[in-house]
Amino acid sequence: MHRELIGEAPGAHIIRVTDPCKPLEIDLSRPLEIEVGCGKGQFLTRRAAENPDCDFLGIERMLERVRLFDGKCRRANLSNAKVLRLEALYTFHYLLPAHHARTVYVFFPDPWPKKKHHSHRLFGPLFRTALWKRLEIGGKLEFATDHKEYFDEVCEGFATDARYERVDPMPRPKEVWTEFETMFREQGLPIYSAAWKSLPGDDAPLAPLTIPPEAEPREGIVRRTSNTPGCNEIFMQSQRILAAEDA
């Protein structure tokens, strides 16, 4: 991946997905670290600058943050960092190589605090399975949030999953704070962090993702009757959601 990252033109560090069913071109000879919800890149671009022998991939939904991430990479002349604007679950399910990522960072994901919205939370059986499929055996997930109830829920989910073992989380000096962590700490909010490493397990192929009816757009889209859409349909649904957020 790192050989494709060099370039100073705007957008040079933004991955363009042209085939939603084709995995990303990742250099398997180099380690890979991924941040879900990388924001403007404060944490991941620093990691990339300090670790030139590793590749870094940020996943971010918000277009303006993606552009700011790209700008940070160009100004720092980073050749080992890129950002992808796509849903995290889709990316982990379809676009990443098996058992290659050494670390995945998920810092301050949306907690969806209202109970009726809990189904939108990132951490659930589907994401844990896709995450395990992409982590190298012994690879780590680093997780942090300011939301205690969500933290407890995530910890409970991993505690019941035999493919993971809880380990000590990384230290959190000011140098590793994300934009959100900086803001939350300035407000005096407590920060909860945890980490897990992946263990050997059943390496069965991932089943196709499905779109529940309630997740379909309500205007301008004809509902499908099939409940087993392929990756192309899931990808287009994800792109429609992102386009609606930009409007």
**HSE (CB half, 13 Å, CA atoms) of 39?**
18
In one-letter notation, the amino acid at residue 230 is G
Q: Are 114 and 147 in contact (CB under 8 A)?
A: no
Active site residues: 110
Cβ-based neighbours of 232, under 8 Å, separated by 6 or more = 20, 21
Helices (H), the chain: 2-5, 42-50, 63-75, 88-90, 125-134, 148-159, 179-186, 231-246
Q: Are 77 and 12 in contact (CB under 8 A)?
A: no
Closest CA to 131 of 169, 168, 166, 101: 101
Q: Are 25 and 161 in contact (CB under 8 A)?
A: no
Q: Report the b/e string of 232-243 with b at 16+ CB within 10 A.
A: ebbbebbbeeee
Q: Is 74 exposed, middle or buried (0-12, 13-18, 19+ CB in 10 A)?
A: middle
Edge-to-edge order in the sheet of strand 32-36: 81-84, 55-59, 32-36, 101-107, 135-145, 192-198, 164-167
SS3 at position 174: helix
